[in-house]
A = this chain, B = another copy of it.
Amino acid sequence: MKALTLGEIVAALGGELVGDASLEITGIDTLEGASPTTIAFLANPRYRAQLETTRAACVIVAPEMREVAGARGAVIVSAQPYLYYARLTQWWVARERGPTAAGVHASAVVDATATVDPSASIGALAVVEAGAVIGAGAVIGPHCTVGAGASIGPQTRLSAHVTLGAGCRIGARGIVHSGAVIGADGFGFAPDGDRWVKIEQLGAVQIGDDVEIGANTCIDRGALGDTRIADGVKIDNLVQIAHNVRIGAHTAIAACAGISGSTTIGAHCTLAGGVGVAGHLTLVDNVHLTAFTGVSHSVLKPGVYSGAFPMDDNASWEKNAATLRQLYNLRNRVRALEK
């Protein structure tokens, strides 16, 4: 990356610089990995000891760390060092990457009835089907498929190999990573004797603004009515969002989670890795699920919920797991003893 000075950083992002504004910075790093030409940050108190050993040219710190961090070299003081670091990465990337060149790659297959904003970029071998709309500054990566009548908002970026199904919509400033499939059919069948009869999925997927969707994540179209992802939702890799799910604004869902059909998740929730939520449930706002929790009933009270089996050495686990299968009897035996 091109070097820039500490002075340029605070000019762009604010914060109070204590140190030499002309010091050149060539990159961003952790305290542990930093070199004399990189900038690091201290956000989590448990890394405080690394202040003494880091080689960083400058450290972004909270006001209470100004003295101790300043004693070793340049600091940028910010009320929220982690947020400052996030903004620094964005500014850095924007500066390095520059705007993607607008236009349609010669190898892309864009239907004559699609509407592509002149400032959008359509990558190599992408397919944009009939009636699709690609907004201003949007970037469609190589090998993406944008289905008939689908719509992509301004500044939204699709990495390579994204599938956006027919009639689905994603808002502005979204990011969709490779292999994500938005708008496949929901999993719906009616039993007919001992066979399954497909229920055609007539809805679509509606995704708000500022949504990020991880690699190989699936968001199915609704059976009747749409699957809806509100503004600011962040979804990690390999997540399954079934038909007619609704996710409230600014909820974050970590990798390998799965949400079954017609469930509504509130706003500002967090689902950790591997969480599963059954269908037709309601989770209110501000529900936080720890890793591997399986949710089988609605959660109507904000809070932190858990449900993972504790890991143990295999021999202990075998004994405890076997006993667990007699737990109800054990309780009855305790009751009998109590009487």
Contact = CB atoms under 8 A, between A and B. Distances in A.
Interface stretch (A68-76, A132-140, A212-220): A212-220
Interface in A297-327: 297, 303-314, 316-327
Contacts of A199: 85-86, 89
Interface string A173-203: 0010111010011011111101111111110
A198 B86 contact: yes
A127 interface: yes
Contacts of A319: 328
A28 B303 contact: no
B323 A306 contact: no
Interface in A215-237: 215-216, 218, 220, 224-225, 232, 234, 236-237
A252 interface: yes
A8 to B, nearest CB: 17
Contacts of A327: 320, 323-324, 327
Given A178-B145, A327-B327, A196 B234 contact: yes
A49 interface: no
B191 A83 contact: yes
A328 B327 CA distance: 10
Contact of A198 (B196, B212, B291): B212
Contact of A330 (B105, B198, B200, B334): B334
Interface stretch (A18-26, A113-121, A272-280): A272-280
Contact of A89 (B200, B216, B255): B200
Contact of A161 (B163, B237, B316, B326): B163
Contacts of A165: 159, 178
Interface of A: 27-30, 33, 80, 82-83, 85-87, 89-90, 92-93, 105, 107, 109, 123-125, 127, 129, 141-143, 145, 147, 159-161, 163, 165, 175, 177-179, 181, 184-185, 187-192, 194-202, 210, 212, 214-216, 218, 220, 224-225, 232, 234, 236-238, 240, 242, 250, 252, 254-256, 258, 260, 268, 273-274, 276, 278, 289-297, 303-314, 316-328, 330-331, 333-334, 337-338
23 contacts: A29-B224, A86-B197, A90-B200, A93-B200, A145-B161, A159-B165, A187-B234, A187-B236, A187-B255, A215-B218, A216-B238, A240-B255, A240-B273, A276-B292, A289-B311, A290-B314, A292-B294, A303-B314, A304-B314, A310-B321, A320-B327, A323-B328, A330-B334
